[in-house]
Amino acid sequence: MKLLHTVALTGLLAAGPALAQSTWTLPTAYPETNFHTRNLKQFIEDVDTSTGGKLKITLHSGGALIKMPEIKRAVQTGQVQAGEIFLGTMANETPLYSFDSIPFMSAGHADAQKLWAAARPLVTARLDRQNLHVLYSVAWPAQGIYAKRELNAIGDFKGLKFRAPSPSTADFAKRLGAVPTVVQAADIPQAFLTGLVDAMMTSSTTGVDTQAWDYLSHFYSVPTMFPQNIVFVNKAAWNKLDEPTRKAVTEAAARAEARGWEMSAEENATNIGKLKENKLTVLDVPPALMTDFTRVGGEMAKDWLAKLTPEERAALEPVVKR
């Protein structure tokens, strides 16, 4: 009997490493219905399957666990192991992080993907120095203009309270004569209903997520930019994984990135249809206003490129549309 007990115990100890499991907590600011969150959930399921359950990731959506502005710091310090943020929220740290949020530098998803391919090594290296390992990044659908009233000329923006989730959006608003205001995604409806903001530049996805038809009247469909969300993990948590698990997660992340970009492209047409179904007035930007938009975007691109390091400029200038 003693021999059987010894053999059983030896077997359990030998199996210990194979049964070892890592757990990550991953907060995001976006709701369950958002395509970024749906993609994250698929990524998490994929990781669970491809690692044989060796890595379990718990997702906390809608900013319920940690609000967007605090997520990066929480991952850096190990408060949580991983997180997803809107990349533009880091733009105050370095001009590099604005690569995806300068208006009209990309004409479509294909251009935006080329820009990300050029920026990725630079962004990854910088975040690595900040104790973060990049998993993947996915663009939002084209950012259009939402407003409580019709906008026909640049003068219509003067004094308009304009939601600006990133420094680049704030700069764009100022150059149009608007007043930039910081409002988190979850607070958008209340901000419009209480008069805190009059207009915003965001995707058709956010318009549907927040039921924009309840608090404003107009949406101008124009591909101003394709800003990205980025998913990263604390480097210590990453390094604790064994090599086969890291390989499986890296491959799952590559699949999530490819899938997410496809979802983003499909989302725009679908959600513009939903905006129309709910009686929001969907318009093209008037030609004169479009001329002003592209002029301002060109000025911003020139100013942004001048702020980059020589290495960054050499990598990014060839793929910037101006």
Of 107, 87, 125, the residue nearest 315 (C-alpha): 125
Interacting residues of 220 by C-beta distance below 8 A, sequence separation 6+:
144, 145, 146, 147, 151, 283, 284, 285
pLDDT computed for residue 186 by the predictor = 84
H-type helices in the chain, by residue range? 2-19, 35-50, 68-77, 109-129, 167-176, 188-193, 204-209, 235-240, 243-277, 287-307, 310-316
pLDDT at 185: 84
- Residue 280 pLDDT: 96
The mean pLDDT values, 10 residues at a time, for the chain of 322 residues are: 42 47 97 96 99 98 95 98 96 96 92 97 98 98 96 97 93 97 92 97 93 97 94 99 99 99 92 96 95 96 97 96 66
β-pairing, 22-27 with 55-60?
A: parallel
* Cβ 60 vs Cβ 28: under 8 Å: yes
Per-residue confidence (pLDDT) for residue 10, from 0 to 100 = 44
pTM of the predicted protein model:
0.88
Give the integer Cα–Cα distance in Å for 72 and 78. 10
Q: Spell out the domains of the chain, with CATH numbers in brackets.
A: 22-319 (3.40.190.170)
Q: What pLDDT was estimated at residue 4?
A: 41
